[in-house]
Amino acid sequence: MQSFPIFLSLQDRPVLVVGGGERAARKVELLLSAGARVALIADTVEGEIAQLIADARVSWAGRGFDDDDLSGMALVVVATDDEALAARVSNAAQRRSLPVNVVDRPGLSSFIMPAIVDRAPITIAISTDGTAPALAQRIRAEIERALPAALGRLARFAEIFRVQVRRTLESSRDRRRFWDRVFAGRIGELALAGDEIAARRELIRLLDSTRNENPPAGMVHLVGAGPGDPDLLTIKAHHLLQRADVIVYDRLVAPEVLAVARRDAERIFVGKRRGEHRQTQAEINRRLVSLARAGNSVVRLKGGDPLVFGRGGEEIEALVRAGIAVEVVPGITAALGCAASAAIPLTHRDHARACIFVTGQLKDGTVALDWPMLARPRQTVVIYMAANTLPIVAARLMEHGLSSSTPVALIENGTTSRERRVVGTLATIEQHARRAELEGPTLCMVGDVIGLALARDHEFRSDARTIA
């Protein structure tokens, strides 16, 4: 986020607009709709601006700009093709610490005028920080189509009961859950349809029953966060992240995925960071049980899929023993996500008849794998968490029969904007990895399919993300 979004109250406050043409008219209309008192500076006016002046909705000084015109103003908007004038007004406003926007000139502006979706009292603002206004307009059009025109009616309906709900339900969690039921159910449908009497009756009935019912039991959802790209989250995972009271996550969860979650949800990090104490699995299990027993909706967010090297099975066992309801929501495991991102086929009729997933580090930190099985020909081996044990893995595979020229790919932070790929062979991959200084979550792929991708796709080898 390069700019901080705020909503500024302009009701009955003076705003200066410099310019008398079509662009100025558009800005004046927005400012008037926000209740501002608009003063216009322009030598000449035309079209809609002239009509607004004739209707006494805008005050107009039929002359050029003077620095004293800024006195007492809350905001300044410049909509003129005169670049010298635009720069002069901008500099004068910023010397006075007045917010100023120069249309289509972000370099002269201290704030950006966003694209707006108006469902009063609901307002949605979209900004690209001045880089692509046309894109902001396109996003606005998509949101306009998605939101009911009467959405503001639902907000005004909720306002009627806001104080009563606050007095009846003491905890913010209970109030949020109550409003979720209102907006997502029949009450919201009635309010949107304009049947306010029926909506009020149903809401009062729901509030009374909510006050008298037992607190809902907590629950834990083991949710797969996928390999990193938030667009790869399942719809169910997205919904749960938006409704969670508490999110328990580890190091393999990408920041982009965590950003999808409800902002006021409690976030608890239980992963391992270099130089920091790591919570044991038993401690994590006890914490999940405790959070659920407190009535929370808990999302245990795990990188990839929760049941593929994520120790999800151990957490399920602990929760079931404690009598806690648990649900598993699958995610795209790292092998599938990274392979797709790099266009590496995990299986291929001529090169790999099988694909094997193994972990490069076991519970006690050792690497005790079935090396003869992994070194068989015509298969792809995907090794999770192999960055620290790569020298041992490469040596053991060669000892058990794989050629030193077998292609290897390391994919760090797969599917994200930070993705990097290191390619080589069993004989050279350790040297390449050391040079690349990989630090993020890294997946190792071994097999002829990597060589096939390199031979087939020149872009794979020349991609800035690939180190060979």
Give the catalytic positions in this structure: 250, 272
What are the phi and psi torsion angles at 227 (to 5°)? Answer: -80, -10
Dist. CA 21–CA 428, nearest whole Å? 66
* Residues facing 355 on adjacent strands: 380
d(CA 50, CA 28): 12
- Give the 3-state secondary structure of the chain: CCCCCCCCCCCCCEEEEECCCHHHHHHHHHHHHCCCEEEEECCCCCHHHHHHHHCCCCEEECCCCCHHHHCCCCEEEECCCCHHHHHHHHHHHHHCCCCEEECCCHHHCCCCCCEEEEECCEEEEECCCCCCHHHHHHHHHHHHHHCCCCHHHHHHHHHHHHHHHHHHCCCHHHHHHHHHHHHHCHHHHHHHHCCHHHHHHHHHHHHHHHHHCCCCCCEEEEEECECCCHHHCCHHHHHHHHHCCEEEECCCCCHHHHCCCCCCCEEEECCCCCCCCCCCHHHHHHHHHHHHHCCCEEEEEECECCCCCCCHHHHHHHHHHCCCEEEEECCCCHHHHHHHHHCCCCCECCCECCEEEEECCCCCCCCCCCHHHHCCCCCEEEEECCCCCHHHHHHHHHHCCCCCCCEEEEEECCCCCCCEEEEEECCCHHHHHHHHCCCCCEEEEECHHHHHHHHHCHHHHHCCCEEC
